[in-house]
């Protein structure tokens, strides 16, 4: 407000100043006495309300000495376990010193040291209890091939662990310990996760038990191919929450303390980039793993590339003129494995897959997911563009393990 000195007496200006000061004092005093009269959203000058996340607000207001991270961790921490494993690894170490005939003749065969042919490899990871009878979810790479598994609870109790089931392609495993009325981690829904929401990792990184780190979800549906893990079939949750060796198999939580992912990998070339398996994926196979079942993975046997008009134009410039790649969106068949379902179904190098079972396909990730959800041995209708022609082919997916053999 602009004050004009020639329009009002000076003493009136003093009165106004006194009234304003008194009004400010009364306002501040009333905010201290009646804090609940504050609105639940902050309004900007254009009256647009800024939303307050209810779960965070309630966690903060219920206990002024705790924040939402502490409240979330409190729901889960007793169910997060340390998993120690031991593996016997064969060694092929040969010291050239003792292979030299001169030294063998000099020392004699009987006095030459016998180098061990096996060594004991120890490693550590994390996991979390999902059933009070002792069912634990973790990563396959934490326990795969282990001769001995030891599970330590936060309260200090130690159990021998039995590996019930392992699925390498999804990097998931179930371990059983003999217990009852054990603490259980609540499972959330990764399908409801959003980019930018809080993400909390709990585990035992680098041997430091019961460690908590905080960040956000950076992106969703990051394919294992994009991450550089070609031997997995996963769409990861990407997070900037600190994940280190030893965190593998531990839970990634939302702000309510619900498990939305299983921490599994870090990017060795960058900081602040970690990956977690969505909990919804684990939900679909955890019971079968607990029962010792083998998880099927359909396979058709092609090498593929996401195709766009720009990619097709570039390829057509570099390829023999006899093969013309259609300048469309789809998935280009780069190669076909001999004697695979794709080969038997007449898929060819240079085909552009545009639909499966009538559903449009525009990326390699979409195709992989569709095949993964198909039925082994059941016909899968595949629409391809071959040059200027559109053809419909029938391919029967095979079990990947059978193909590997």
Which one is catalytic: 141, 167, 224, 255? 141
The per-residue DSSP string of 93-152 comes to ---HHHHSHHHHHHH-GGGS----SEEEEEEEEEEEEEETTTEEEE-HHHHTT-SEEEEE
Q: Which two tokens stand for residue 5?
A: 């000195």
Q: Which two tokens stand for residue 17?
A: 């100043």
- Rg from Cα positions in the chain: 31
Say which DSSP state 190 is in.
G
The yes-or-no answer on residue 255 being catalytic is no
Dist. CA 297–CA 293, nearest whole Å: 13
Dist. CA 7–CA 17, nearest whole Å: 16
The per-residue DSSP string of 35-89 comes to GGGS-SSEE-TT-PEEPPPHHHHHHHHH-TT--HHHHHHHHHGGGEEEEEEEEEE
CA nearest 326: which of 371, 257, 390?
390
Dist. CA 222–CA 235, nearest whole Å: 5
Which one is catalytic: 171, 235, 255, 351? 171
The yes-or-no answer on residue 171 being catalytic is yes
Dist. CA 39–CA 225, nearest whole Å: 47
- Contact of 127 with 76, CB cutoff 8 Å: no
Measure Cα distances from 176 to 144, 151, 286 in Å: 14, 9, 12
Which one is catalytic: 248, 255, 297, 351? 248
Q: Which residues partner with 304 through β-bridges?
A: 333
Query: Helices (DSSP H) in 296-357: which residue ranges?
Result: 309-318, 341-344
Q: Which two tokens stand for residue 328?
A: 């469309």
- Contact of 74 with 253, CB cutoff 8 Å: no
The yes-or-no answer on residue 61 being catalytic is no
The residues annotated as belonging to the active site are 141, 171, 248
């Amino acid at each position: 407000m602009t004050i004009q000195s020639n329009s009002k007496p000076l003493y009136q200006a003093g009165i106004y100043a006194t009234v304003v000061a008194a009004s400010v004092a009364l306002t501040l005093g009333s905010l201290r006495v009646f804090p609940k009269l504050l609105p639940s959203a902050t309004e900007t000058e254009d009256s647009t309300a800024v939303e307050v996340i209810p779960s965070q607000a309630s966690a903060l207001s219920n206990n002024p000495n705790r924040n939402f991270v502490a409240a979330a961790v409190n729901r889960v921490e007793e169910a997060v376990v340390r998993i120690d494993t031991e593996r016997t690894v064969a060694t092929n170490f040969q010291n050239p010193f003792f292979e030299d005939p001169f030294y063998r003749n000099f020392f004699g065969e009987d006095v030459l040291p016998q180098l061990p042919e096996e060594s004991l490899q120890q490693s550590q990871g994390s996991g979390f209890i999902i059933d009070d009878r002792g069912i634990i979810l973790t990563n396959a790479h934490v326990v795969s091939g282990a001769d001995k598994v030891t599970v330590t609870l936060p309260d200090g109790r130690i159990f021998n662990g039995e590996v019930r089931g392992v699925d390498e392609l999804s990097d998931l495993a179930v371990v059983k310990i003999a217990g009852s009325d054990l603490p259980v981690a609540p499972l959330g829904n990764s399908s409801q996760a959003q980019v930018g929401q809080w993400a909390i990792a709990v585990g035992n990184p680098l041997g430091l038990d019961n460690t908590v780190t905080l960040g956000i979800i950076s992106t969703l549906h990051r394919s294992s191919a994009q991450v550089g893990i070609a031997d997995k079939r996963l769409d990861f949750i990407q997070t900037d929450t600190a994940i280190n060796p030893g965190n593998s198999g531990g839970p990634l939580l939302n702000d309510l303390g619900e498990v939305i992912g299983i921490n599994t990998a870090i990017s060795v070339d960058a900081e602040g980039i970690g990956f977690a398996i969505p909990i919804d994926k684990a939900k679909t196979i955890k019971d079968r793993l607990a029962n010792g079942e083998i998880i099927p993975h359909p396979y058709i046997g092609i090498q593929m590339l996401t195709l766009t008009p720009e990619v097709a134009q570039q390829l057509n410039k570099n390829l023999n003129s006899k093969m013309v790649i259609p300048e469309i969106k789809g998935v280009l068949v780069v190669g076909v494995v001999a004697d695979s379902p794709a080969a038997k179904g007449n898929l060819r190098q240079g085909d552009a897959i545009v639909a499966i079972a009538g559903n449009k396909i525009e990326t390699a990730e979409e195709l992989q997911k569709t095949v993964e959800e198909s039925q082994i041995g059941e016909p899968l209708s595949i629409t391809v563009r071959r040059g200027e022609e559109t053809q419909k082919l029938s391919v029967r997916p095979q079990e990947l393990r059978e193909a590997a053999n």
